[in-house]
Amino acid sequence: MAGGLPVIAVGAGAIPENVEDGITGTLVPRENPDALADAIIKAIKDPERLETLACKARDVVRQKFSWDRAADQMTKLYQALRNQ
């Protein structure tokens, strides 16, 4: 996602926390190779949609995982620990 590439992933585990189906990528059910194949074919047939998903995904990654955000979260953690 950070590299600006489209994402097709299984919608299980922690993946849905970072890949929003139809917004930042495409999620498919686990253990469903037909759904995965369909998602890949759909992606190949619609490069404009792929570009839109990839751009949005890159933006989300930059917001969620920026150094500024990491520093803010670390500061909040230290403050919470200090206040205990």
Domain with 64, as residue range(s), is 8-82
pLDDT in tens, 35-84: 999 999 999 999 999 999 999 999 999 888 889 988 999 999 999 999 98
Q: What is the pTM of this model?
A: 0.76
Distance set, CA 43 to CA 29, 35, 50, 57 (Å): 16, 12, 6, 15
7-28 tens-digit pLDDT: 999 999 999 999 999 999 999 9
In a domain, 40, yes or no: yes
- Give domain status of residue 59, yes or no: yes
In this structure, is residue 3 part of a structural domain? Answer: no
Start-to-end CA span in the chain (Å): 37
